Amino acid sequence: MSDSVGKSCLNCGTDLKEPFISCVECVSPRTFLCLSCFARGEEKNGHKSGHVFEIIKNNFSILEPEWTARDELNLLDAIYDCGVGNWYCSLIDIHVTCIYVYLAHIF
Ligand SMILES: [Zn+2]
Ligand SMILES: [Zn+2]
């Protein structure tokens, strides 16, 4: 049985499994990155490491029990509101930190 989602990483071409990264800014075509390539800041076909991203996943709260689905929605809203380069507005600073803690757990 495979939990592949039928998408491949922009950079390395590996079959993606959740969680993976979806670029919010590269929409034509939609750009996806595996966590390894995302963590290395890989850039390709116009995608830049500074682009706003979404984390596509089944369950984001396994390693960060205090992070609820609502927190995540708030984070995404804040990212959209703040835009690229303004992530560290006080509202979302702690949540951005949580993302890096989460990724650090994976690697
Ligand atoms: Zn990759
Ligand atoms: Zn992009």
Q: Give the distance (Å) from ligand 2 centre to CA of residue 51.
A: 5
Domain range annotation of the chain: 20-56, 61-106
Q: Give the distance (Å) from ligand 2 centre to CA of residue 50.
A: 8
| β-bridge mates for residue 54, sequence order | 22
Q: Give the distance (Å) from ligand 1 centre to CA of residue 10.
A: 6
H or E element that contains 27: strand 20-27
Q: Give the distance (Å) from ligand 1 centre to CA of residue 46.
A: 16
Q: For the residues 87-92, what does the mean pLDDT come to?
A: 42
Taking Cα atoms as reference points, which of 65, 63, 89 lies closest to residue 77?
Answer: 89
Q: Report whether pLDDT(81) > 50.
A: yes
Compare 13 and 20 and report the one with higher pLDDT: 13
Say which residues have a Cβ less than 8 Å from residue 56's Cβ, sequence separation at least 6. Answer: 5, 18, 19, 20, 21, 22, 32
Q: For the residues 66-85, what does the mean pLDDT come to?
A: 61
Residue 29: per-residue pLDDT: 85
pTM of the entire structure?
Answer: 0.54
Percentage helix, strand, coil for the chain under 3-state DSSP, each rounded to 5 = 30, 20, 50
Residue 85: per-residue pLDDT: 47
Residue 66: per-residue pLDDT: 61
Residue matched to tokens 């929409």: 27
56's torsion region: left (phi>0), alpha (psi -120 to 50) or beta? beta
**Confidence tier at 53 by pLDDT (50, 70, 90):** confident
3-state DSSP assignment of residue 6: coil
Residue 88: per-residue pLDDT: 40
**Confidence tier at 15 by pLDDT (50, 70, 90):** very high
Q: Give the distance (Å) from ligand 1 centre to CA of residue 70.
A: 28
